[in-house]
Amino acid sequence: MKWCSKHQGEAMDGEKCPQCAEESKPVPFNFEQIDDSHQRAKVFGGWLVKSFENVYHAEMTDHHSGGEGWDWRVAMAFVPDPKHEWEIEK
């Protein structure tokens, strides 16, 4: 198996290395954790930010739902950032 220099193998001429082929596959939303309730995904022209909120539903505690009354509420927002300069502070 030949890999490119980027992936620390033999230089490729023409044919793509398996790793590059893997990376070039469309991964539309690869979410990255920002904090406990936010995730972001790099998209063209900016970021897609997903916000989670843990919501309690008293009406869902009955035996029909099988749940404990909690669920995640998710909201999405687009943050324009063409150069992807937004760094997550750790």
What does the binding site for Zn ion look like in residue numbers (CB under 5 A)?
Answer: 4, 6-7, 17, 19-20
Q: Minimal distance in Å, beta carbon 57 to Zn ion?
A: 48
Positions of E strands within 29-84: 32-35, 38-43, 46-56, 70-80
- Identity at 55, one-letter amino acid code: V
Tokens of 18: 């398996």
Q: Using the minimum distance from each CB to Zn ion, give the nearer residue, 16 or 38.
A: 16
How would you classify the pairing of strands 70-80 and 32-35?
unpaired
Q: Minimal distance in Å, beta carbon 62 to Zn ion?
A: 54
Q: Using the minimum distance from each CB to Zn ion, give the nearer residue, 11 or 88.
A: 11
Q: Using the minimum distance from each CB to Zn ion, give the nearer residue, 20 or 34.
A: 20
